[in-house]
A = this chain, B = another copy of it.
Amino acid sequence: MLVIKQQLYQKNMAKKLTTRADNYSAWYNEIVAGADLAEHSAVRGCMVIKPYGFAIWEKMRDQLDHMFKETGHQNAYFPLFVPKSLFEAEEKNAEGFAKECAVVTHYRLKTDPNDSSKLVVDPNAKLEEELIVRPTSEAIIWNTYRGWIESYRDLPILINQWANVVRWEMRTRLFLRTAEFLWQEGHTAHATKAEALEESEKMVNVYSEFAQNWMAMPVIMGSKSESERFAGADETFTIEALMQDGKALQAGTSHFLGQNFAKAFDVQFTNKEGKKELVWATSWGVSTRLMGALIMTHSDDLGLVLPPKLAPIQVVIVPIYKGEEQLEAIRSHIAPLIDSLKSAGVSVKFDDDDTKKPGWKFAEHELKGVPLRVAIGNRDLQNGTVEIARRDLNTKETIEFTDAFSTITTRLEEIQESLFNRALDFCKENITEVVTFEEFKSVLDKKGGFILTHWDGTGETEEAIKKETNATIRCIPFDEAPLKGKCVYSGAESNQRVIFAKAY
Residues of A within 8 A of B (CB): 1-7, 39, 41-43, 46-51, 54-55, 58, 72, 74-84, 86-88, 91, 94, 98-111, 117-119, 121, 130-133, 140, 143-144, 147-148, 150-151, 153-154, 156-159, 163-164, 166, 168, 180, 182, 355
Contacts and interface: CB of A to CB of B under 8 A. Distances in A.
Contact of A182 (B77, B130, B144, B154): B77
Given A75-B54, A77-B49, A154-B3, A103 B109 contact: yes
- Of A2, A4, A5, A111, chain B has the most CB atoms within 10 Å of the CB of A2
Given A41-B144, A94-B119, 17 more contacts: A1-B72, A5-B154, A41-B140, A42-B83, A42-B140, A43-B82, A48-B77, A54-B77, A58-B75, A77-B182, A81-B180, A88-B119, A98-B110, A98-B111, A99-B108, A99-B110, A102-B131
A87 B82 CA distance: 24
Contacts of A54: 74-77
Given A81-B180, A153-B6, A105 B121 contact: yes
B107 A101 contact: yes
A77 to B, nearest CB: 4
Nearest to A78: B48
29 contacts: A1-B72, A2-B156, A3-B154, A7-B150, A39-B147, A41-B79, A42-B86, A43-B79, A43-B82, A46-B79, A48-B144, A51-B159, A54-B74, A55-B74, A77-B182, A80-B80, A81-B102, A84-B109, A87-B109, A101-B109, A102-B107, A103-B108, A104-B105, A105-B105, A105-B106, A133-B133, A153-B355, A163-B164, A164-B164
Given A98-B119, A157-B4, A80 B166 contact: yes
A76 B50 contact: yes
A386 B293 CA distance: 54
Given A47-B79, A75-B51, A107 B100 contact: yes
Contacts of A100: 107-108
A164 B134 CA distance: 13
Contact of A106 (B103, B108, B110, B118): B103
A408 B159 CA distance: 31
A75 B77 CA distance: 20
Nearest to A57: B77
A231 to B, nearest CB: 13
Nearest to A84: B119
A79 B153 contact: no
B103 A102 contact: no
B101 A76 contact: no
Contacts of A103: 104-109, 121
B109 A132 contact: yes
Contacts of A81: 43, 46, 102, 180
Nearest to A188: B2
A78 B88 CA distance: 29
Contact of A91 (B82, B83, B117): B117
A54 B159 CA distance: 11
Contacts of A98: 108-111, 119
A117 B132 CA distance: 17
